[in-house]
Amino acid sequence: MPTNLQSAEYDTVGQTRWVWPGFALPGVIWLALLFLVPFYAIFAIAMGRIDPILLRPLPEWNPLYWDPSVFAGVLGDLFGGRTGVVAMRTIAYVFLASALCVLIGYPVAYFVSRRAGRWRWLWLMLILAPFWINYLMRMMSWVNLLSPDGQMNQLLGLFGMTSLPDWLSGQHFVVVLGLVYGYIPFFILPLFAALDRIDDSTLEAARDLGASSSQTFWRVTWPLSRNGVLGGLVIIMLPMFGDYYTPTLLSGSPRTRMIGNTIDQFINQTTSQGAVGAALTIVLMVFVAGLMAYYLITINRATREARR
């Protein structure tokens, strides 16, 4: 490793001072124009006006002229209106699905990372497989299975069950299980990585000091993997809160509508409501940022405690 003195010398040699920002420049400009500006456009539309003739939202780029009336209307609807019901349902679905992901995913990640033995590589391939398959294909497969003349009903028919519900219209549990099915691989993988990093000698030390296997798990393995669980939860919860395709494909009924469906509808289908869609997107963003902040604070605290 070069010492600081050497690097300082090195940086003054030739043109290196502006070379590195130059390398970063195209990417930074691209992200500024196609990530930051679009991000700002959400606010400009949400706080803009409605064109009186064309009845479409007009962006207001100057924050001094922002009109918060649409945003206030959305907030009002969110606390006590119809959107509030959709938001609460979204939160319930996401938390339920995430809890199921932990319940199913933890044992699988634990087994594959620490106990799978000789066939570990095969198990790893199998839990990675869903990553290589498009999300929409995986959902479409369930639409096939659950359709009225699909394999699920054929199978249940064999057991004499005939008066079956229509799985694909407004069943809460179908949507929640669909979310679990869709996102659980993204939970398992970071958890697998975290469990995989635990040094075997730590566990052996616990056993040598007389801990039983369940004590070893609860007092060593679990605390050491908690950050992996949290990381996996963040990875699946971010996209789940914005999901709209899973409920559309597996239900399509207003009974199972999530907040993503409302945004999708206001932006993609009824363009005159673009401002409402943009305002809801801001609400979603703030909510998700809150989760993210909670995660970062927890991780920070955990690392500080570990250092002490």
- Residues 164-223, interacting with other proteins (CB under 8 A): 168, 181, 184-185, 189-190, 193-194, 196-197, 207, 212-213
Q: Are 105 and 184 in contact (CB under 8 A)?
A: yes
28 binds other proteins (CB under 8 A): yes
121 binds other proteins (CB under 8 A): no
Contact segment (CB under 8 A) with other proteins among 64-72, 85-93, 148-156, 218-226 equals 148-156
59 binds other proteins (CB under 8 A): yes
When binding is defined by CB under 8 A, the residue of 47, 70, 175, 234 that contacts other proteins is 234
- Length of the chain in terms of residues written: 308
When binding is defined by CB under 8 A, the residue of 86, 87, 176, 263 that contacts other proteins is 263
Give whichever of 139 and 176 is closer to other proteins, judged by the CB atom: 139
Residue with tokens 């000091």: 209
When binding is defined by CB under 8 A, the residue of 133, 156, 205, 297 that contacts other proteins is 133
Q: Which residues contact 207 (CB under 8 A, 6 or more apart)?
A: 213, 216
**Smallest distance, Å, CB 153 to other proteins?**
9
**Smallest distance, Å, CB 110 to other proteins?**
7
**Smallest distance, Å, CB 73 to other proteins?**
18
Residue with tokens 């305002």: 279
Amino acid identity, position 234: V
3-state SS assignment for residue 169: coil
The CA distance from 288 to 95, in Å, is 13
Residue with tokens 């106990």: 115
The CA distance from 102 to 106, in Å, is 5
**Smallest distance, Å, CB 108 to other proteins?**
5
Rg, Å, the chain Cα set = 25
Q: Are 139 and 245 in contact (CB under 8 A)?
A: yes
Contact segment (CB under 8 A) with other proteins among 63-71, 78-86, 157-165, 235-243 equals 235-243
